[in-house]
Amino acid sequence: MTTSHRSARRAGFAAFVGTTIEWYDFYVYATAAALVFGPLFFPSGDPLAETAAAFATFAVAFVVRPFGGILFGHIGDKLGRRLSLVLTLLLMGIATVLVGLLPTYETIGLAAPILLIFLRALQGLAVGGEWGGAVLMSVEHAPEKSKTFYGGFTQLGNPAGALLASGVFAIMTRFGDDFIINGGWRIPFLLSIVLIGVGLWVRYRVEETPVFEQKVGGRKQSMPLAFALRNNWKPILLGIGLLPISTGGYYLATTFATAYATGEPISISEQVILDAMTIASFVEFVVTLPIAWLGDKWGRKNIMYIGLVTSVLTFIPFMLVLPGRIEPLIFLLASLVRIAMSATYAPIAAILAQMFRPQARYTSIALSYGVGAAIWAGFSPWFATMLIAWTGSIWSVIAMFAGMAILAGICTKLAPQHSDEAPVTASFEARTDTTANRTA
């Protein structure tokens, strides 16, 4: 199997564009959940209860993500990575645009939150299949010694999508709170229709990955899910344990921090916190690829360890400085947290991809990421909000964050790494044949 930097760059760019659009759609919802969805779709008169309800719908997408991983992982392992990625992009775009057209509780009553939850679930299905496929599109096209770097292109889509989402909302806030609550919030969702067209055009121009064509093409599993659960269950569990900070910690530092900072009793201006998050997203965007490049030089696991430690060390002062409302420190620490978290996020694509053999790899990585995101990211903002309500102290959230980092470090140490250039062993081939026959 041969790969070239030229094909890797093309695949990496396609993964970047596609994941940018998918994460833009995802973060637009997250930002709206933190700012306006509570009173618009879950009015109760209690701001904390409204925010918690909005974050509960935010969590719905994470609950269904494993099912998206199973569905689109099956398509990706059977019919190819590219087809699966085109379908996820379409599904995400349709769901996001429909959220922008959705009537609120005041207009259609209980049907409004029900429809919102349904559309959020569709977003979750799409992202559940998107990330794993985009990772494989970039990593499987990459030369063996550059997999972390090219995997970073997929990870680059996260801060780019967050930058677009927070940037659009930051612009909206300049028209005033009344503008946002009275319909301005719909604009970021409706803009997605333009981005989806661009993403589809880019993805159609990329060929299928050489790993799928040469190592999977003639050995497709009739039931990739059964193969993954039978042969890959240990690395799948380790993959879930790798993700607490890369996924859940990220939402604590963004979505939860936005709600915590703008709510009572801190009451920082929405414009200030959105500006801080926009700048932080830009900083993360700038440092992601250099950090991924370092992963190939220093070792992707070593970069992960550095990121876990520095994430804790920067998250603590970031949370503690918010009540003081010292804007320069808020801007500085918001960016420092994102730099630290980049070191847990940039190498994760290559780490997870290389934890699995090519057979049923899409399903396996999608399951790891989908279940991990459901556990760690889906409920982190909600649980952190509840911790504040129960304890009255931000230190409870900080303690949760530190525990998540410790678990991620242990699972990183135990995670296996395989080479795509190494021949599949005879024993593994025999086990593959046996599994394929059983699941046929």
CATH code, domain with 153: 1.20.1250.20
Residue 110, judged by CB atoms within 10 A of its CB (0-12, 13-18, 19+), counts as exposed
pLDDT, position 351? 95
Residue type, 378: G
**Residue 207 near residue 217 (C-beta atoms within 8 A):** no
Token duo for residue 77: 């392992």
| H or E stretch at 324 | none
pTM for this one? 0.80
Report the C-alpha gap between 29 and 31 in whole angstroms: 5
Query: For residues 140, 141, 147 and 148, what is the CA-based torsion angle, rounded to 10 degrees?
Result: -90
Question: In tens digits, what is the pLDDT along the chain, a chain of 440 residues?
Answer: 455 677 788 888 888 888 888 788 877 887 888 778 888 888 877 777 777 777 777 678 878 888 998 999 989 888 888 889 889 888 988 998 999 999 988 889 889 888 988 998 998 898 888 888 888 888 888 888 889 999 999 888 888 888 888 788 878 878 877 888 888 889 999 988 888 888 888 777 777 777 777 756 555 556 888 889 999 999 999 999 999 999 999 889 988 898 888 888 888 888 888 889 889 988 999 999 999 999 999 999 999 999 999 999 999 999 999 988 889 999 999 999 999 999 999 999 999 999 998 888 889 998 998 888 888 987 888 889 899 989 989 999 999 999 999 999 999 999 999 877 655 444 444 444 343 333 33
Residue type, 263: G
pLDDT, position 255? 82
Report the C-alpha gap between 279 and 217 in whole angstroms: 44
Task: State yes or no: cis peptide before 423, omega within 30 of 0.
Answer: no
Residue whose token pair is 């230190």: 395
HSE on the CB side for 383, CA within 13 Å? 18
CB 109: neighbour CB atoms within 10 A? 11
CB 244: neighbour CB atoms within 10 A? 28
Phi and psi, residue 232, nearest 5° = -115, 15
The tally of domains found in the chain comes to: 1
CA–centroid distance for 149 within its chain? 18
Report the C-alpha gap between 357 and 294 in whole angstroms: 24
Which segments within 119-193 are labelled E, that is strand? none
Report the C-alpha gap between 398 and 367 in whole angstroms: 28
In terms of phi and psi (left: phi > 0; alpha: psi -120 to 50; beta: otherwise), the region of 31 is: alpha
In terms of phi and psi (left: phi > 0; alpha: psi -120 to 50; beta: otherwise), the region of 183 is: left
**What is the secondary structure of 85-97 as a DSSP string?**
HHHHHHHHHHHHH
pLDDT, position 205? 75
Handedness of CA 168, 173, 174, 180 (dihedral sign): positive
Residue type, 395: W
**Residue 56 near residue 117 (C-beta atoms within 8 A):** no
Closest CA to 171 of 151, 187, 189, 152: 187
Q: Where are the alpha helices (H) located in 299-425, listed in sequence order?
A: 300-321, 327-345, 348-353, 361-372, 380-391, 395-414
pLDDT, position 434? 41
Phi and psi, residue 82, nearest 5° = -65, -45
pLDDT, position 427? 41
Q: Which domain range does residue 145 map to?
A: 5-439
DSSP state of 265: T
Report the C-alpha gap between 89 and 145 in whole angstroms: 29
Report the C-alpha gap between 437 and 440 in whole angstroms: 5
